[in-house]
Amino acid sequence: MSDGEDLVAELVSGKYRALARTITKIENRSPGYRDLVADLHEHTGDAEVIGVTGSPGAGKSTLVDKLALRYREKGLSVGVIAVDPSSPYTGGAVLGDRVRMASTTGDMDVFVRSMGARGQLGGLSTATGDAIKAFDAFGMDRIVVETVGAGQNEVDIVRTADTVAVLVQPESGDDIQMLKAGILEIGDVFVVNKADMAGADRTVKQLSEMLEGRRDDGSGWEPEIVETVATSGEGIDGLLEALASHREYLESTGALAEKARARYAEEVRTLLREDAGELLEGEIDRRGGIEAVVDRIVARETDPYTVAAEIVEPLERCVEREEREETPPRR
Ligand SMILES: Nc1nc2c(ncn2[C@@H]2O[C@H](COP(=O)(O)OP(=O)(O)OP(=O)(O)O)[C@@H](O)[C@H]2O)c(=O)[nH]1
Ligand SMILES: [Mg+2]
């Protein structure tokens, strides 16, 4: 048995240390992390993954904290992944620390982990997706992913969730702008948090008007709007109901299975892009590195198209040879 298999066995048997070590390996892309993640797959598929997004300071962490507590009260195990948090969890409950348990309930079942930006573009959403697998294989009933909803990277991250809750603060012009910028499409449940502040009703109304366009988008799900006060826990039950009813919709219509299939397809393609990219980078290095190649382009000795064709050529030749020899696909 390899080290990785040992680690997976321990993780699956519910050892928090193994879970923490696994996520560290995932985050650092440590040698062997790919085999590790591959071994996790057969143990996944049971967790419900909820994405929570919204602009900075909207109250995401406070809300996630309350949500986790409520799930615990229902006897469910919960994992929280905070992606690139702009501020550590507060409220006396959660974390700041990368590997600590939440102290909310005094038990070990709310496992919180933050993920930071590592490596190249898109790396964070891949790492987050892999971390979700680790939580899932561990046996978490609910996995909540918190991310600041700003750019494409965040949108990619919340796509790994089955159900996405978008937080909005009352009367926040910025939030409404952000919603227009694409987050509107990915929200399944909209949460007007800080409902104790003035203007919450107006924001609900605005949101509801903006969502009109989505009512007939053919998906069969009408986004719900709930109001919460995360600091006091008011409205959390309504949020729980909305999340559960979206889950019910996903399961009863087959949308859940479809989402999973789409995610796996995307995952395979992402991995292939990474792998092919690495192979081609190696080819560039063998040609003296990218700067040397650019020198020749600048000197008009060659051009980007020709260079690209030359670099991809050895790969193409291998693929063609495979085809000629009609080797059956390897398993
Ligand atoms: N009045 C009021 N304040 C709230 C509510 N929810 C959160 N807050 C406060 O808003 C501030 C930000 O809360 P966070 O939970 O850290 O917000 P966040 O969205 O996680 O912030 P980032 O992770 O930094 O983007 C804190 O001071 C909270 O106490 C609420 O319902 N009402
Ligand atoms: Mg936060």
Tokens 């993954």, located at residue: 49
Ligand 1: distance of its center to the CA of 64 in Å? 10
> Which element (helix H / strand E) includes 258?
helix 255-286
| Residue 87 clears pLDDT 90, i.e. is over it | no
Mean pLDDT in residue range 73-94? 67
Rg (CA), the chain: 23
Better pLDDT: 99 or 235: 235
Q: How confident is the model at residue 165 (pLDDT cuts 50, 70, 90)?
A: very high
24 Cβ below 6 A of ligand 1: no
Look at residues 262, 260, 249 and name the one whose alpha carbon lies nearest to residue 222: 249
- Cα distance between residue 173 and residue 168, in whole Å: 10
- Cα distance between residue 46 and residue 244, in whole Å: 15
pLDDT digits (tens, 9 = 90+) for 264-310: 999 999 899 988 999 999 999 998 999 999 999 999 999 999 999 99
Non-local CB neighbours of 292 within 8 Å, separated by 6+ positions: none
Nearest-atom index, ligand 1, CA of 87: 24
Ligand 2: distance of its center to the CA of 85 in Å? 6
Q: Which two tokens stand for residue 42?
A: 């057969």
Ligand 1: distance of its center to the CA of 123 in Å? 27
Pocket test for ligand 1, best of 196, 228, 231 (most atoms within 8 A of CB): 231
Pocket test for ligand 1, best of 62, 174, 203, 234 (most atoms within 8 A of CB): 62
- Cα distance between residue 64 and residue 44, in whole Å: 23
pLDDT digits (tens, 9 = 90+) for 107-164: 556 788 888 755 444 577 888 899 999 999 999 999 999 987 656 666 777 778 999 9
CA distances from 293 to 137, 290, 304 (A): 45, 5, 9
Sheet order of strands, 110-115 included: 110-115, 78-83, 142-148, 48-54, 163-168, 189-192, 224-227
CA distances from 210 to 133, 156, 178, 213, 247 (A): 34, 22, 12, 7, 23
Q: Which two tokens stand for residue 290?
A: 């990218």
Q: Which two tokens stand for residue 143?
A: 């996995």
Q: Which two tokens stand for residue 233?
A: 């826990």
Could you tell me where the beta strands, DSSP code E, fall in the chain? 48-54, 78-83, 110-115, 142-148, 163-168, 189-192, 224-227
Q: Based on the number of CB atoms within 10 Å of its own CB, is 326 exposed (0-12), middle (13-18) or buried (19 or more)?
A: exposed
Q: Which two tokens stand for residue 283?
A: 């080819």
Residue 328 has a pLDDT of: 63
The answer to whether residues 193 and 58 touch, using CB atoms and an 8 Å cutoff, is yes
148 Cβ below 6 A of ligand 1: yes
